[in-house]
Amino acid sequence: MAGRTRNSSSKRATLADVARAANVSAITVSRVLNHPDKVSDELKNRVQQAIDSLGYIPNQSASSLASSKSGVIGVCIPSLSNVVFNDVLRGIYQVAGEGNYKVLLVDTHYSPLEEEKMVRTLLSQSPEAMIITGGDQTRSCERMLSQANIPVVQIMETLEQPLDMNVGFSHYQAGYDVAVRLLETGCHTLGFIGARMDTRVQQRMNGFMAALQERDRLDSKLIVTTPQPSSIALGGELLRSVISASGGKVDGIFCCNDDLAMGALFESQRMNIQVPSQLALCGFNDFEASAYINPSLTSVHVPRFEMGVKAAQMILDQLQERVPANRQVDIGYEIVMRQSTAVV
Amino acid sequence: MAGRTRNSSSKRATLADVARAANVSAITVSRVLNHPDKVSDELKNRVQQAIDSLGYIPNQSASSLASSKSGVIGVCIPSLSNVVFNDVLRGIYQVAGEGNYKVLLVDTHYSPLEEEKMVRTLLSQSPEAMIITGGDQTRSCERMLSQANIPVVQIMETLEQPLDMNVGFSHYQAGYDVAVRLLETGCHTLGFIGARMDTRVQQRMNGFMAALQERDRLDSKLIVTTPQPSSIALGGELLRSVISASGGKVDGIFCCNDDLAMGALFESQRMNIQVPSQLALCGFNDFEASAYINPSLTSVHVPRFEMGVKAAQMILDQLQERVPANRQVDIGYEIVMRQSTAVV
DNA sequence: CGGGCTTATGATAGCGCAAACATTTGCGCT
DNA sequence: AGCGCAAATGTTTGCGCTATCATAAGCCCG
C-alpha cells in the first residue's frame, strides 16, 4: 500500500484534519470538494493528496446542516414487492444519480397512515424534493409536504389537483378503453378481476364498468375483486370465480394487472378453456413475459421507466431553477393487442 | 383546522422554537423525542402540544451530527431491474423499519468501480451499518468499509473470506447439484445458458460444469453465455444457440435464471419441442410464475426474503450489542422438481 | 431532621461543515 | 507609480441538535 496509512484506530478524518495535513485552511478543502474551480491547481493537488492519504470521506450530516442542502430526494412507493415500481425506480435513480442526488426510498404498504409516518421520516432527512405515489395522502401528510416547501411530484396517475407536480396517466380512461377494445373484438359478456384494489386499480375498474354501463353490457356479478395482494395464484382463483358467477358465459376478462392475467391464462389452460376463442384475456402493465407467453397476452403498456425519468427530471429542473415546461404530464399508455384477444 | 396554524411562510420550526412555545429548555424537547421516560408526564404533554401545533419535524442532520447516530443502513445491490432483489429488499426494509432504521439504497450496475463510488456516497451519510451484495469489491472499497468501523453484511452468496458478516448460499454447489439432478432424470446431453455472467452466475456455471466434467459429460460447446442482461427474449435466443451448437442433440438445459428459462420454454413451444420429453429445462430463483406456467418449471428455490431478514437482523443484533450467534449464515436453497424435467 | 440518595430539568459546549465576510495578492490600465 | 479590480485564500460564525455536566427538587433512612 503506497503512501502513509491512516491511523485506522481513531475516528474518521475531518475537513480540519485534511486541512492540517495539506497546510491550508479548512474552507479551502471544502472548496476543493465543492467548488474546485475556485482553487488554484497547486493547492488542489496538495489537498487531494491529503484527502487520499487520510482516506477522508465528507460528513454529509455536517454539510447538510451547514448548507441546508442534503442532496437527498425522498421517494414513497406503496410496495417493494410490486415489480411495477422497479422500472419507475430505475428511471428515478438514473436521473437522480446523474444529478448527484441520493434517493431515500420508503415503502408505504398501500396505507395512507403508514405513508404519513414515512413522509415524516423522509422530511426529517431534509430532502430537497419528494416523489410520491398517487394522490391518496392524509390531510396531515399533505400539510407536511406543502410546509416542507420543496418540489413534490406525484406519480403513477394523473390527478385533478396535484399537490405540486404530477406525472402519470388516466387509469379510468385506460379501463374504459380496454372495455371498448374487448367489445370490438367480439366479446359479449365481459368480466373484471382485481386484487389489492388500491385507488388506481379502482379507477381502471370504474372506467371499465362505465364503458360497459353506457352500452348496457354491465353485469356487476362479473366484477370480482379482493383486497388481497395480487399474485399469479390469485389470478387462477379469481378466474374460477368469474366463470362460475357467469355460469360459464363470460367470454372476455380484464385483469387488473399482468400477474392476475397470467394466473388466469395458466388456469384456463388447465381447465381446457381456449384463449382467445372461448375466452379473451387482457392484462395491465405489459410485463416482458406477456409478449412471449403462449398465447401472448394482450395488455396495457405503460411507460414506467419514462415516468420515473420524467418525474426526476421535473425535480432537477425545479431545483436548478430551470422552471419545467409543464407541471403536469400525461405520460400515456397503449393497449397492445396480442394473441389472448381475438383479431378484429 | 383546530389549533394555531404555524406561520407557513417562514422556515421550518426548530427544537428551540418548540422549547420556547412550551416554555421549557431545548434539551427537554430533545428528551421528549428521544428519551420520553426521562421526562415528567406534565412536561411531556406540554411539549407534545407545542410540537404538534408548530408541525415540528426534527432535523436529522443536526441530530446525526451531534449524536453520531444517523439511523441509516446503507444497502448496495447490483441492479434495480433484477427482481431477485425485490424480495431481499423487502426483508431488509421490514426488519430495518421495525428497528427504526432508514435504508439508503444504491444500485451498482454490476460494476465494482461503480460500487466503490456508491459506497463512498453511502459512507458520507454515516450509515450505522452496510449491506452489500457479494464479495467482488475493489481493494479501495474494502478499505473504506473496514475503516468505517461499522457492521457490514455481504449477502447473496457464501464467501470464503467475508469482510465482516455474511448471509448467502453456495452458487457453485447449487449448479453442481442441478447437473446431478438433471442427469438423474435421464438427460444425456446437458447444456447451460447464462446471461450477465456476474460472479454468482459464473459460480453456478462452474459448479454445473464441474459435475459434468467429473462424469465425462461436459461438452463446452453447449455452455453458451453472454454478458448482456438477462431477459425472456434472450432466453429464446440462447436456447436456439445451444440447440444448434449441439446439432439438435441437447436434451437438458440449465438456465442461469428463471427469465432465461421461461424464454427457453416459450421458444421450445414455438419450435414444437416437447418439454420435458424432448428437452428438460431447469431455471434458477424460482419465481412465482415458474410454479404456475404450463409445463411448470423446475427451478432452484432460494429463500430471498429470509436472506434479507437475516442480514438485517444480524445488523440489529450487532448494533444493540447483542452479539449475533453466527457471523456467517448459509441460508440454503432447494431444487424444486416440476414438469419441465422428467420424473425419475 | 439532615446526609446522601434518586429524579427531573437546565446551561453549556461542540459535533463538522459552509456561508458570509475579510484579507491578501497579482495584474491591467492610465 | 498608483488606482481599481478580480482571483485566491483565510477567519469567523452558526446551522440544529445532543452529550455532558450542573443544579434543583423530592425522598428515604437511621
Q: What are B261-318's pLDDT values in tens digits?
A: 999 999 999 999 999 999 999 999 999 999 999 999 999 999 999 999 999 999 999 9
pLDDT in tens, B20-32: 999 999 999 999 9
Q: What nucleotides of chain D have any atom within 7 angstroms of a protein Cβ?
A: 8-12, 14-20
Residue of B nearest to A296 (CA): B266
Main-chain phi, psi angles of A307, to 5 degrees: -65, -45
Å: B65 CA to C9 C1':
24
Question: Is the domain of B245 the same as that of B324?
Answer: no
**Is B213's pLDDT higher than 80?**
yes
For residue B249, being part of any structural domain is answered with yes
Average pLDDT over residues A245-256: 96
User: What letter would DSSP give residue A246?
Assistant: T
Average pLDDT over residues B169-174: 98
The answer to whether B16 CB is within 7 Å of strand D is yes
Q: Which nucleotide is nearest to B18 (CA to C1')?
A: D16
Å: A30 CA to D6 C1':
21
Question: Is the domain of A158 the same as that of A183?
Answer: no
Question: Is the domain of B115 the same as that of B214?
Answer: no
**Is A8's pLDDT higher than 50?**
no
For residue A7, being part of any structural domain is answered with no
For residue A339, being part of any structural domain is answered with no
Q: What is the pLDDT of residue B5?
A: 37
Residue of B nearest to A263 (CA): B292
**Is A3's pLDDT higher than 70?**
no
Q: What is the pLDDT of residue A278?
A: 96
Nearest to B235 by CA among B256, B264, B258: B264
For residue B150, being part of any structural domain is answered with yes
Cα distance between residue B70 and residue B60, in whole Å: 7
Angle in degrees, 0-180, between the axes of helices B232-245 and B258-270, rounded to the nearest 10: 60
* C-alpha cell at position B142: 474494502
Contacts of A86 in chain B (CB under 8 A): 80-81, 83, 86
Question: Is the domain of B245 the same as that of B286?
Answer: yes
Cα distance between residue A194 and residue A10, in whole Å: 58
**Residue B299 β-bridge partners:** B336
**Is B324's pLDDT higher than 80?**
no
Q: What is the pLDDT of residue A324?
A: 66
Q: Amino acid identity, residue A249?
A: K
Residue of A nearest to B230 (CA): A288
User: Of all residues in chain A, what percent carry a pLDDT higher than 70?
Assistant: 97
Q: To the nearest 10°, report the CA torsion of B171, B233, A282, A307.
A: 80
Question: Is the domain of B165 the same as that of B313?
Answer: yes
Question: Of B7, B11, B59, which to mutate for an interface test with A (greatest number of A Cβ within 10 Å)?
Answer: B59
Cα distance between residue B102 and residue B341, in whole Å: 43
List Cβ neighbours of A108 (8 Å cut-off, separation of 6 or more): A76, A77, A78, A114, A115, A118, A133
pLDDT in tens, A170-220: 999 999 999 999 999 999 999 999 999 999 999 999 999 999 999 999 999
For residue B3, being part of any structural domain is answered with no
Average pLDDT over residues A269-297: 96
Contacts of B288 in chain A (CB under 8 A): 231-233, 259
Peptide bond connecting B295 to the previous residue in cis, omega within 30 degrees of 0: yes
Alpha helices in chain A (DSSP H): 15-22, 26-34, 41-54, 60-67, 84-98, 112-124, 139-148, 171-184, 199-214, 232-245, 258-270, 288-292, 304-319
Rounded to the nearest integer, the mean pLDDT of chain B is 94
Highest mean pLDDT of the ranges A215-219, B317-321, B340-344: A215-219
Task: Count CA atoms closer than 13 A to B49's CA, side-chain side.
Answer: 13
Question: Is the domain of A138 the same as that of A183?
Answer: no
**Is B157's pLDDT higher than 70?**
yes
Alpha helices in B273-303 (DSSP H): 288-292
**Is B155's pLDDT higher than 60?**
yes
Question: Is the domain of A215 the same as that of A269?
Answer: yes
Task: Quickly count: other Cβ atoms within 10 Å of residue B280's Cβ.
Answer: 22
Cα distance between residue B256 and residue B10, in whole Å: 57
The answer to whether B66 CB is within 7 Å of strand D is yes
Cα distance between residue B280 and residue B293, in whole Å: 15
Q: What is the pLDDT of residue B10?
A: 63
Q: What is the pLDDT of residue A326?
A: 86
User: What letter would DSSP give residue A342?
Assistant: -
List Cβ neighbours of B341 (8 Å cut-off, separation of 6 or more): B181, B182, B185, B252, B276, B280, B281, B282, B298
For residue A291, being part of any structural domain is answered with yes
Question: Is the domain of A273 the same as that of A226?
Answer: yes
Cα distance between residue B92 and residue B73, in whole Å: 10
The answer to whether B18 CB is within 7 Å of strand C is no
Cα distance between residue A67 and residue B282, in whole Å: 55
pLDDT band at B323 (very low <50, low <70, confident <90, very high): confident
Give the number of A-B residue pairs with CB atoms closer than 8 Å: 129
Domain count, chain B: 3
**Is B231's pLDDT higher than 90?**
yes
Query: Of the candidates A58, A90, A109, which is a domain's last residue?
Result: A58
User: What letter would DSSP give residue B44?
Assistant: H
Task: Quickly count: other Cβ atoms within 10 Å of residue A129's Cβ.
Answer: 24
Q: Amino acid identity, residue B192?
A: F
Helix (H, G, I), strand (E, B) or coil at A196: coil
pLDDT in tens, B42-79: 889 999 999 999 999 999 999 999 999 999 999 999 99
pLDDT band at A274 (very low <50, low <70, confident <90, very high): very high
Cα distance between residue B77 and residue B105, in whole Å: 8
Cα distance between residue B199 and residue B133, in whole Å: 11
In this predicted model, which residue has the larger pLDDT, B8 or B275? Answer: B275
In this predicted model, which residue has the larger pLDDT, B88 or A343? Answer: B88
**Is B189's pLDDT higher than 90?**
yes
Question: Is the domain of A214 the same as that of A238?
Answer: yes
For residue A132, being part of any structural domain is answered with yes
User: Distances from the Cα of A237 to the Cαs of A182, A277, A294, A299, A306, in angstroms?
Assistant: 22, 21, 20, 20, 33
pLDDT in tens, B95-136: 999 999 999 999 999 999 999 999 999 999 999 999 999 999
Q: Which of residues 60-99 of B touch strand C (CB under 7 A)?
A: 62, 65-66
User: Of all residues in chain B, what percent carry a pLDDT higher than 70?
Assistant: 97
Query: Of the candidates A37, A58, A79, which is a domain's last residue?
Result: A58
Q: What is the pLDDT of residue B134?
A: 97
For residue B314, being part of any structural domain is answered with yes
Residue pair A249/A276 in contact by the 8 Å Cβ criterion: no
Residue of B nearest to A233 (CA): B292
Cα distance between residue B285 and residue B300, in whole Å: 5
Helix (H, G, I), strand (E, B) or coil at A254: strand
Q: What is the pLDDT of residue B2?
A: 36
Question: Is the domain of A189 the same as that of A297?
Answer: yes
Question: Is the domain of A184 the same as that of A119?
Answer: no
Contact across the interface for A232 and B288, Cβ inside 8 Å: yes
Q: Which residues of A46-61 are buried (b: 16+ CB within 10 A; e: fewer)?
A: bbbebbebbbbbbbbb
Cα distance between residue A287 and residue A300, in whole Å: 9
pLDDT band at B152 (very low <50, low <70, confident <90, very high): very high
User: Of all residues in chain B, what percent carry a pLDDT higher than 90?
Assistant: 91
Main-chain phi, psi angles of A281, to 5 degrees: -125, 135
**Is B6's pLDDT higher than 70?**
no
User: Distances from the Cα of B149 to the Cαs of B163, B236, B302, B311, B331, in angstroms?
Assistant: 11, 47, 30, 17, 26
CATH number, domain with residue B50: 1.10.260.40
pLDDT in tens, B267-279: 999 999 999 999 9
Cα distance between residue A24 and residue A11, in whole Å: 21
**Residue A168 β-bridge partners:** A330
pLDDT in tens, B330-339: 999 999 999 9
* C-alpha cell at position B332: 440454503
- What distance in Å separates residue B146's CA from the closest CA in chain A? 9
Q: What is the pLDDT of residue B118?
A: 97
**Closest CB to B124 among A57, A121, A147:** A57
Question: Is the domain of B206 the same as that of B313?
Answer: no
- SS3 annotation, B164-228: CEEEECCHHHHHHHHHHHHHHCCCCCEEEEEECCCHHHHHHHHHHHHHHHHCCCCCHHHEEEECC
Q: Amino acid identity, residue B198?
A: D
* C-alpha cell at position B309: 431478514
Domain of residue A112 covers 71-169+304-332
Q: What is the pLDDT of residue B54?
A: 94
With 0-12 / 13-18 / 19 or more C-beta atoms within 10 angstroms meaning exposed / middle / buried, residue B248 is exposed
Q: What is the pLDDT of residue B4?
A: 36
* C-alpha cell at position A116: 404519513
The answer to whether B111 CB is within 7 Å of strand D is no
Main-chain phi, psi angles of A294, to 5 degrees: -115, 120
Å: B112 CA to C16 C1':
30
Q: What is the pLDDT of residue A9?
A: 45
CATH number, domain with residue A152: 3.40.50.2300
